[in-house]
Each structure stands twice: as C-alpha cells, then as structure tokens.
Amino acid sequence: MELQLTGRRVLVTGGTRGIGRAIVEGFLDEGALVGYCSRSADDVAATEAALAGRGTTVGTCLDVGDAEALGQWVHDSAQRFGGLDIVVANVSALAIPDTDENWETSLRVDLMHTVRLVKAALPHLERSDAACIVAISSVSGRESDFASGPYGVAKTAIVGYIHGLAIQLAGKGIRAVTVSPGNTYFKGGVWAGIERDDPALYEMAVGLNPTGHMGRPEDIAAPVVFVASPRAGRISGANILVDGALTRGIQL
C-alpha cells in the first residue's frame, strides 16, 4: 500500500534510539523529510551518520523540556522544510518511581513537551492538506500497573489531551492520534536495564504478555507511520494499543 508520504514534512522528538529512531526510519523509508531531536549531540551525530544516504533527515540537539528551545526547533524546521505536515511527540523521561522530582519531570517532559510541540506546530499544520499529530503514550496510561504514578499519570493525561485536540481541530482538517506501546525491548532501553538489574520483574513482565515476548521498536513504528499517513485519513481521536494483547481492559 502506498502511504502517500513522499515529500511530507515530519518532526519526531527523541529520534536517535528505540521507538523514536524506528519511527524516523519508517518515515524515511516512505520518502518523507524528517527532522528529529535528542538531548545528546553524540547520539545525533551517530544517527546522522547511520542514516546518511537513506533520505532527507536533519538531527538537532535539544532538551524538549526547554520550552523556548523546543519552539525554536519547530520554527527552524518548518523554515527548512517549507512547512510541516506531521509531528510525533515521542520523548518520555521514563520517570517511574514516585518522587516529587519525578512528578515534576514527567509533567514537564512527557506531557508539556507534547503540548508545546503541538502549539508550536499548529500554525504550520494548518497550512497542510494532510496534517496529523501523533503522541506516544503507553499501556501504563491505559491501565494501572507497576509504572502507575508519575509516568502512568502523565501518559494518561496525554491520551486525554490528544482526544480533545482531535475534536477541536477536526474542522481544520488536522487529525490527532495516540499510539500506546506495550513493553518494548531494545538494546540500551529501559527493559534491557530491568532485565539486567531486576530479572524477576523482567520475567514477570514477559509472562504477562500472551505472545510470550516483548515488542520491538519497529513493531511500534509501523502503525505510527500508517496512522500519520493520508491513508489513515479517517482515524482521529483514537488511542491505538500496540501491545500484543497485553492489556486486559475492553476499550469501548
């Protein structure tokens, strides 16, 4: 299926590793122009080298928790690409333990970077004929689990925020969708660390999934790229679970 993404202009926060990196690669494979960011200049440089020749992509070093820097990145990217069609709010602080610092970090990074990305991008998205906002939440935003607390609450808030946006922006032709991954394993990721440091928790998490294994970043990226594409033009306001049947609640 041709996703009609050739030449579309895309921004992805946190695009140098894990799910974010897979999303960047997925859009590139469909012919999109992709800007991405990361806090690490070394990671940006390594990703630029790895993706050289694969398509048009621009990496930027910034902290999405810095509202001014985030807004400037969106503005500069729109100037460079001649507009924006799609934004993907992917970054998470992964601040799970229940501490005051983690509450503040989760709200500032997970939730507010999503809000600020959307606000900065809206003037550009309004000029697109196929605009879409995608936010990455989590199954922890859908059900209570071991990550309930700062992380889970922020992810739940993202689902509510995006659903409201879908209604508010429908008349402008802008779609808004949430994608909620289940446990996703990649080298250097949170589950690789848990496997090393808390093997009992890791085995418990694997055992909860009917597939018997965790997902991979590319498993999440594929539906993100599809729902962002013009082919998914009637999908808006949805929270799409990509979890291998992990969650037990029936989503009505």
- State the SS3 of the chain: CCCCCCCCEEEEECCCCHHHHHHHHHHHHCCCEEEEEECCHHHHHHHHHHHCCCCCEEEEECCCCCHHHHHHHHHHHHHHHCCCCEEEECCCCCCCCCCHHHHHHHHHHHHHHHHHHHHHHHHHHCCCCCEEEEEECCHHHCCCCCCCCHHHHHHHHHHHHHHHHHHHHHHHCEEEEEEEECCECCCCCHHHHHHHHCHHHHHHHHHHCCCCCCECHHHHHHHHHHHHCHHHCCCCCCEEEECCCCCCCCCC
pLDDT at 35: 98
Active site residue 172: no
Token pair for residue 248?
A: 């037990």
Q: Is the pLDDT of residue 143 over 80?
A: yes
Model confidence band, residue 148 (pLDDT cutoffs 50, 70, 90): confident
Among the options 38, 106, 128, 138, which is catalytic? 138
pLDDT tens string 222-243: 999 999 999 999 999 999 999 9
Say how far apart CA 76 and CA 152 lie, in whole Å: 32
pLDDT at 27: 98
Among the options 77, 92, 106, 137, which is catalytic? 137
pLDDT tens string 99-112: 999 999 999 999 99
Nearest to 96 by CA among 57, 151, 29: 151
Q: Is the pLDDT of residue 17 over 90?
A: yes
Domains of the chain as residue ranges with CATH:
9-186+218-242 (3.40.50.720)
Active site residue 119: no
Among the options 36, 106, 151, 180, which is catalytic? 151
pLDDT tens string 150-199: 999 999 999 999 999 999 999 999 999 999 999 999 999 999 999 999 99
pLDDT tens string 20-70: 999 999 999 999 999 999 999 999 999 999 999 899 999 999 999 999 999
Among the options 38, 77, 128, 155, which is catalytic? 155
Rg (CA), the chain: 17
pLDDT at 211: 95
